[in-house]
Amino acid sequence: MTIQSPKGRKINLAGLTRRLREDAKAQGLALISPTLLYLIIFMILPMILVVVISVLTRGTYGNIEYRLNFENYKRLIDPLYLRILTYSMWVAGLTTLITILIGYPLAYYIARAHSRQRSLLLFLILVPFWTNFIIRIYAWIMILRTEGLLNNLLINLGIINMPLDILYTPLAVQIGMVYEFLPFMVLPLFASLEKIENAQLEAAADLGARPWRAFLRVTFPLSVPGIVAGSILVFIPAMGMFVVPDLMGGAKTMLVGNLIRNQFLTARDWPFGSAASMLLMLLTLAVTLIYTRKAGFGEDLLV
Amino acid sequence: MSEKKPSLFLRIYAVFAYAYIYIPILLLMIFSFNTQKLNIRWEGFTFHWYEVLFQDQEVMLAVRNTLIIAIISTLVATVIGTLAALALQRYRFPGYTFSESLLYIPVIIPEVVMGISLLAFFALLGVRLGLSTITLSHIAFNVPFVTLVVRARLHGFDKAIEEAAMDLGANELTTFWRVTLPTILPGVMAGAMLAFTLSLDDYVITYFTAGPGSTTLPLRVFSMVRFAVTPEVNALSTLWVLTVFIILAIGQILQQKNRNINTKKERI
Amino acid sequence: MKTYRFIAMLVVLAILMAGCGGESKSDEVNLYAWSEYVPQAILDGFTEETGIKINYDTYSSNEELLAKLQAGASGYDVIIPSDYIVSIMAAQGMLEELDMSAIPNFDNIGDDYKDLVFDPGNKYTVPYQWGTTCLVVDTSKVTRPITSWADLWDPEFAGKVVLVDDEREVLGMVLAVLGYDNNSVDEAELEEARAKFMELMPNVRLFDSDSPKTALLAGEVWLGQTWNGEAAIAHSENPAIEYVFPQEGCTMWYDNLAIPAGAPHLDAALDLINYILRPESGVLITYDFPYSNPNLAAIDLLATEDPDTYDAYMNFAATNPSTEDMAMLYTIEDVGEGTELWDRIWTEVKGGE
């Protein structure tokens, strides 16, 4: 069967399909092209746009003027913005650390449970994971308010006299972040812990290792891919978070996410906001590369 | 993993950990029945706020929008994502490394950056913001996750079955449809479920790409939490949690049945 | 067969989505306004009468409105920008000129509120509500009289102050406390303001433009800066909450109904604006969101229909400021080139933790 291409050339359709069948490369390309095309249009192009905007100028009224300008990047080097960046890294890092500390024993417990119990336990972690995070944050606002449930409880029990000021402080933001990201850490940790073969532990025991030693020398190292995967899944979104500081921090804490959002929607300085976004992206890229190079990307955990 | 009983310490720890996770949610649900409008102290039991909720047109619109966006973006992302996974897992072609890296990018971009880039993109093209722009954006961040999950599933796939099918005379398409797809289906479904959740839950990217009349549930909940902090928010939250619970539970039961059927088959 | 069912499902969904997109239907109008500002009763009434459906999207600040519209991709028909934003938008050609013949209810607006400085001749806007952003005090928690913004800096109020999350309002207030113009772009003055603002931060419990009254009513804060309508609602729930016009003065603002250039449903937009200007609509607004109402016909209607609410409205300083109160008011104007400096200070102080 032959058809005519727009240029007038004859295309042998049967021949084309035959080539497609036999040529593995062509097959592969054909399969991946929809995704490739889609992501190039809706991800690469927008990002390129942001890079372009970052070297343009802000007009008087907040529109974009097409004048080349590297001022935006120079502005970023200012201690003010670097301080915001480092503070965000600190918060994100702390969140990652705390979720590891809280999540690891939990993941361990689930991994070691009997298989029927395990499904249930896993299910119980999935439910909050699937629930909208704003709702979960709101639950904490209800608890941490000055006249909220926690303070009411503590005052009624006579433990304190004056209500604790937790809400709208950095502490509240931290609590919110940890709560939000905990399932993201537990699930990859569980995935990697579950894979650890009984045989290896038994071998260690046979060789005379006590439980703690076996844990440190066998279990823990083998769970590192899970820790890495979980850390990436927590650290990166945490870096760009602006919702939690807004809702639980009383809009008093400025993290990088807030800064970028403000530049786009309040100060209407798109060029500067784009430059800040570039900086954030480079940072997360760097962190990801360092982390995965050191410990390997745990993609095989997502079975 | 060892079937030995975990230590007492671990068990107590687990109880506290689960309590930490669930107590806020349970409190949220309990207070959805509070009569006091400001929801600061418990005053009495009522279903009033659920009535308010169901009469709230904004919420109903948001629910409809959210579901439409989630379903469509999941469908598209699952289809092209699965194809991409197959491509990456089984073939080598020019541009392989580029494609693979491309798929990792959304995982490492903070959502706010992706959101603003899409806003700028749509603004440049003069596309009116609305359901379509949100859906297009959701597909963009869903595809990589679907691909990742399906690839993981393909990892352990034994090509021998496919070769056997082809030896028996089936062509590529039939083999794919009758042999490959059913086998990787759990992975595909898992990817689809993940995409569905991500879409359902998304706040940041939707925030930047939403337009008139295209409010989604997360946007609406955020608004409600900021302004009208009445128990209506609690009522909405409660229903959401219960819905998730039920859907997941059904999924679990089906999975369980599946396993039982398989074990039965083996016994036969 | 499975394939056919799958494709059929896709087709159905596509139809659903096309039908539900709704952006280009002519029997709809898209309203973009502050949240907690337009009573649902008005929207429902309009829909009942005309059959035109209303989509009500919200924003938390004028800047957000401006940013979304400047992105060029809107589709909104009716917006409610504040005075200085109208100037900015008009200068950029972002507003439709209003066909006043389609808005006969404009006559209901008091003469004092027509032909204002930011829109001479009412080419682009009609007034919606006006108001002030002044001091609010919970007198049950704060026993001594509070008369000026400077009181907010009192160490006694550490962690007990709420401010609106609006850099023009807050920094403007700080400048006023220092005795400067609230729209100053003088670098030295702004530098002083930055330092002064920093000093206030330990007292600020939160910034909230969306619902400052919540923090007050919940006992999170004792005093602060809020919109007059919020204060009025808070006062009605808790009479101990008072609204104060501080010595240094505070902001007076006008919010206006306007139509963005290129609005898809121009006729419906004009109809909606006309409907909102009815006396009955004005009464509904005052019930739900008691700001100051420029619709004198509505006020008259309120006096006859509901004397109690009318009295409350007239007697409460937040809704009905006296002439002495009014003398202390200043307005916000666009700072143009100074925006970058203002924004930098705002970022600095907020990011200073």
Closest Cβ opposite residue B110 in set A39, A132, A257: A257
> Which structural domain, as residue segments, surrounds residue A271?
75-302
Please give, rounded to a whole number of angstroms, the shortest distance from the CA of B41 to a CA of chain A. 8
Q: Is residue B2 assigned to a domain?
A: no
Residue B30: per-residue pLDDT? 87
| Inter-chain residue contact B72 with C13, CB threshold 8 Å | yes
Residue B2: per-residue pLDDT? 45
d(CA A208, CA B109): 47
Q: Is residue A35 assigned to a domain?
A: yes
Closest Cβ opposite residue A267 in set C70, C204, C339: C339
Same domain, C83 and C145: no
Task: Cite the DSSP H helix spans in A162-216.
Answer: 170-194, 198-206, 211-214
Same domain, A88 and A183: yes
**Helix H or strand E encompassing A301:** none
Q: Is residue A62 assigned to a domain?
A: no
Q: How many CB pairs under 8 A join A and C?
A: 91
CA-nearest residue to C31 within chain B is: B212
Mean pLDDT of chain C: 86
Confidence of residue B149 (pLDDT cuts 50, 70, 90): confident
Cβ of residue C208 closer than 8 Å to a chain A Cβ: yes
Q: Is residue C169 assigned to a domain?
A: yes
Q: What is the CATH number of the domain that holds B55?
A: 1.10.3720.10
Same domain, A185 and A40: no
Give residue-wise pLDDT tens across range B197-219.
889 889 999 988 888 778 898 98
Same domain, C278 and C306: yes
Q: Is residue B5 assigned to a domain?
A: no
Same domain, A49 and A85: no
Same domain, C137 and C193: yes
Of C57, C207, C209, which to mutate for an interface test with B (greatest number of B Cβ within 10 Å)?
C57
Q: Is residue A140 assigned to a domain?
A: yes
Q: Is residue B1 assigned to a domain?
A: no
| Inter-chain residue contact A132 with B24, CB threshold 8 Å | no
Same domain, C122 and C178: no
Q: How many CB pairs under 8 A join A and B?
A: 266
d(CA A295, CA A289): 10
State pTM to two decimals: 0.81
Please give, rounded to a whole number of angstroms, the shortest distance from the CA of C14 to a CA of chain B. 8
Same domain, C147 and C199: yes
Same domain, A156 and A286: yes
Please give, rounded to a whole number of angstroms, the shortest distance from the CA of B65 to a CA of chain A. 16
Same domain, A187 and A235: yes
Q: Is residue A234 assigned to a domain?
A: yes
Q: Is residue B175 assigned to a domain?
A: yes
Q: Is residue C19 assigned to a domain?
A: no
Identify the residue whose tokens are 């812990």.
A193
pLDDT tens per residue, chain A (303 residues)?
Answer: 666 666 666 666 666 666 666 677 777 888 888 888 999 999 999 999 999 988 888 877 667 777 787 888 888 888 888 888 899 999 999 999 999 999 999 988 888 888 778 888 888 888 887 788 888 888 888 888 887 888 888 888 888 888 888 888 889 999 999 998 998 898 888 888 877 767 777 777 777 777 777 777 778 888 888 888 888 889 988 988 888 988 888 888 888 888 888 888 877 888 888 999 998 888 888 888 887 776 654 444 443
Q: Is residue C17 assigned to a domain?
A: no
Q: Is residue B161 assigned to a domain?
A: yes
Q: Can you name the residues that pair with C78 across neighbouring β-strands? A: C31
Cβ of residue B75 closer than 8 Å to a chain C Cβ: yes
Same domain, A99 and A20: no
Closest Cβ opposite residue A143 in set B24, B105, B172: B24
Task: Cite the DSSP H helix spans in C201-227.
Answer: 212-217
Q: Is residue C239 assigned to a domain?
A: yes
Residue A303: per-residue pLDDT? 35
Same domain, C310 and C346: no
Q: Is residue A65 assigned to a domain?
A: no
Q: Is residue A161 assigned to a domain?
A: yes
In the stretch 5-44 of chain A, residues with CB closer than 8 A to chain B read 21, 24-32, 34-36, 38-40, 42-44
Cβ of residue B221 closer than 8 Å to a chain C Cβ: no
> Which structural domain, as residue segments, surrounds residue C334?
131-252+326-350
Same domain, A46 and A191: no
- Per this entry, what is the length of chain B? 268
d(CA B226, CA C58): 12
Residue C352: per-residue pLDDT? 65
Same domain, C293 and C211: no
Residue C25: per-residue pLDDT? 44
Burial of B45 (0-12, 13-18, 19+ CB in 10 A): exposed
Burial of C171 (0-12, 13-18, 19+ CB in 10 A): buried
Q: Is residue C164 assigned to a domain?
A: yes
| Inter-chain residue contact C70 with A61, CB threshold 8 Å | yes
Q: Which of C180, C221, C174, C222 is nearest to C198 (CA)?
A: C174
| Inter-chain residue contact A39 with B248, CB threshold 8 Å | no
d(CA B150, CA B157): 11
| Inter-chain residue contact C56 with B135, CB threshold 8 Å | no
Same domain, C233 and C262: no
Instruction: Name all chains with 3 or more CB-CB pairs below 8 Å to chain C.
Output: A, B
Give residue-wise pLDDT tens across range B38-79.
676 777 888 888 888 888 888 888 999 999 999 999 999 999
Residue B109: per-residue pLDDT? 84
Look at chain A and report how many structural domains it folds into. Answer: 2
Q: Is residue C273 assigned to a domain?
A: yes
CA A31 to chain centre: 28
Same domain, C142 and C168: yes
Cβ of residue B72 closer than 8 Å to a chain A Cβ: no
CA-nearest residue to A261 within chain C is: C64
Same domain, A41 and A133: no
Same domain, A279 and A130: yes
- Provide the ipTM: 0.80
Instruction: Name all chains with 3 or more CB-CB pairs below 8 Å to chain B.
Output: A, C
Structure tokens at A63: 């529109």
Judge contact between A165 and A159, C-beta under 8 A: no
Same domain, A155 and A118: yes
Same domain, C123 and C184: no
Q: By three-state DSSP, how is residue C100 classified?
A: helix
Which residues of chain C approach chain B closer than 8 Å at the C-beta?
Answer: 3, 10, 13, 16-17, 20-23, 28, 30, 32, 35-36, 55-58, 60, 68, 71-76, 210-211, 214, 217-218
Residue A224: per-residue pLDDT? 84
Q: What is the CATH number of the domain that holds A229?
A: 1.10.3720.10
Q: Can you name the residues that pair with C133 across neighbouring β-strands? A: C227, C251
User: With contacts defined as CB-CB under 8 Å, which chain A residues touch C219?
Assistant: 146-147
Closest Cβ opposite residue C63 in set A170, A253, A266: A266
Structure tokens at B59: 């919420």
Look at chain B and report how many structural domains it folds into. Answer: 1
Same domain, A31 and A156: no
Q: Is residue A61 assigned to a domain?
A: no
CA distances from A178 to A173, A186, A234, B246 (A): 9, 12, 9, 26
Same domain, A32 and A93: no
Q: Is residue C182 assigned to a domain?
A: yes
> Which structural domain, as residue segments, surrounds residue B110?
10-267
Q: Is residue A100 assigned to a domain?
A: yes
Is the pLDDT at B113 greater than 70? The verdict is yes
Residue B258: per-residue pLDDT? 64
In the stretch 5-64 of chain B, residues with CB closer than 8 A to chain C read 38, 40, 58, 61, 64
CA-nearest residue to A268 within chain C is: C67
In chain C, which residues have pLDDT < 50? 1, 15-25, 353
Q: What is the CATH number of the domain that holds C308?
A: 3.40.190.10
Look at chain C and report how many structural domains it folds into. Answer: 2
Residue C24: per-residue pLDDT? 43
Residue C140: per-residue pLDDT? 92
Q: Is residue C7 assigned to a domain?
A: no
CA-nearest residue to A82 within chain C is: C351
Cβ of residue B128 closer than 8 Å to a chain C Cβ: yes
User: With contacts defined as CB-CB under 8 Å, which chain A residues touch C74?
Assistant: none
Same domain, C146 and C220: yes
